[in-house]
Amino acid sequence: MTSASAPGKVILFGEHAVVSGTAALGGAIDLRARVTVQDLPGRILIDACDLCLKKFSLDLITGQVVSSDAVHFTRYVSAVLKDFDAQDLRVEIKSDLPMASGLGSSAAIVVATTAALSQHLGLGLSKKEIAERSHRIEKSVQHGLGSPMDTALASFGGYLQVSDDILPLDLPELEMIVGYTKQPHDTRSEVAKVQSMRSRYPDLVGPIFQAIGAISGRAVPLIREQRLASLGELMNVNHGLLEALGVGTRELCELVYAARGAGQALGAKLTGAGGGGCMIALPAPGGSAALITALKQARGLAFPVKIGCEGVRLESDLG
């Protein structure tokens, strides 16, 4: 039996603009997906559960209860198994990460499964090989879509700056509060919406992208020097620019304003593609509990995360 785990991620700054080549900054978080593989002669079985497994549908023909979130999980795991031509296995997934929320749950699952299989099959893939292979697999499931940021963060951990290439950054851990709207988002359609706006208003959207890229660059020394008040201010500016691009929603903005209104957030912004999913808030020192309460009162699912955490790791190798 072999287990591996990999972290989810948040995008701190730069989403959407990065699609057109400016810099984005992301960090691995301390919520993880854990994947265990063990021999099961003659069968391939996938078992899954996550933080929010709550949607069930009943197949009236077979009488089988199917969770739509579990279907989402198994699509990624099947792609990894196929890529390794792996058979006669039971794969068990346990994830702290809500699906399709912008926290990188599919990348974490693909990377953890790839690492567990590499160990189980005695292939000894390096982290770099795991990251490259996982990115290719995630993209194939998502029909060609998917920046390398999620799989790279799930593999290497820490912080990454992404533009034309991926640059690891040595920065201290940060604590933030995530507010999840409980609405899954569709990265593909949000990206298409923003890119369409860009082609219709290049003179307006171009400068917005430039400003977002500049924020990503300015944020790096602020994190390094722990200048949190200024970092929070940049989060607020970045959120406003994302709003201008049309990827905010009422629910996301309610969480952002609830966080700021609680007086305990130094800054707050949506994270990821928008159109649902999550926002992040930077708590003032000692302000995390009040911030979580404010986000819950605004009907969000709220939890603290550490940013800059460890990448993929083997949890055990009992076989």
- Residues recognised as catalytic: 150
Kind plus residue range of the DSSP H or E element containing 291: helix 288-297
Instruction: Establish if 273 lies at the interface with ligand PMV (CB under 6 A).
Output: yes
Instruction: Establish if 147 lies at the interface with ligand PMV (CB under 6 A).
Output: yes
Contact map string, positions 59 to 98, toward ligand PMV, x by CB under 6 A: ----------------------------------------
Instruction: Establish if 16 lies at the interface with ligand PMV (CB under 6 A).
Output: yes
Q: How far is CA 167 from CA 148, 158, 303, in A?
A: 12, 11, 28
- Nearer of residues 18 and 130 to ligand PMV, judged by Cβ: 18
- According to CB under 6 A, which one of 8, 27, 98, 102 is a site residue for ligand PMV? 102
Instruction: Establish if 11 lies at the interface with ligand PMV (CB under 6 A).
Output: yes
Other C-beta atoms closer than 10 Å to the C-beta of 318 total 8
Give 182's DSSP letter.
S
- According to CB under 6 A, which one of 158, 213, 272, 283 is a site residue for ligand PMV? 272
Residue from 27, 24, 23, 5 nearest 176 by CA: 27
Q: How far is CA 233 from CA 64, 132, 281, 304, in A?
A: 50, 35, 11, 20
Instruction: Establish if 114 lies at the interface with ligand PMV (CB under 6 A).
Output: no
CA–CA separation, 317 and 61 (whole Å): 40
Closest chain position to ligand PMV (CB): 272
CA–CA separation, 207 and 60 (whole Å): 53
Q: How far is the CB of 187 from ligand PMV (least distance, A)?
A: 4
- According to CB under 6 A, which one of 187, 249, 264, 288 is a site residue for ligand PMV? 187
Instruction: Establish if 18 lies at the interface with ligand PMV (CB under 6 A).
Output: yes
Q: How far is the CB of 23 from ligand PMV (least distance, A)?
A: 11
Instruction: Establish if 154 lies at the interface with ligand PMV (CB under 6 A).
Output: no
Q: Look at residue 23 and give its three-state secondary structure.
A: coil
- Contact yes or no for 270/276 (Cβ under 8 A): no
Sole residue written with tokens 């912080």? 159
Q: Which residues in this chain contact ligand PMV in the complex, by CB under 6 A?
A: 11, 15-16, 18-19, 102, 147, 187, 191, 272-273
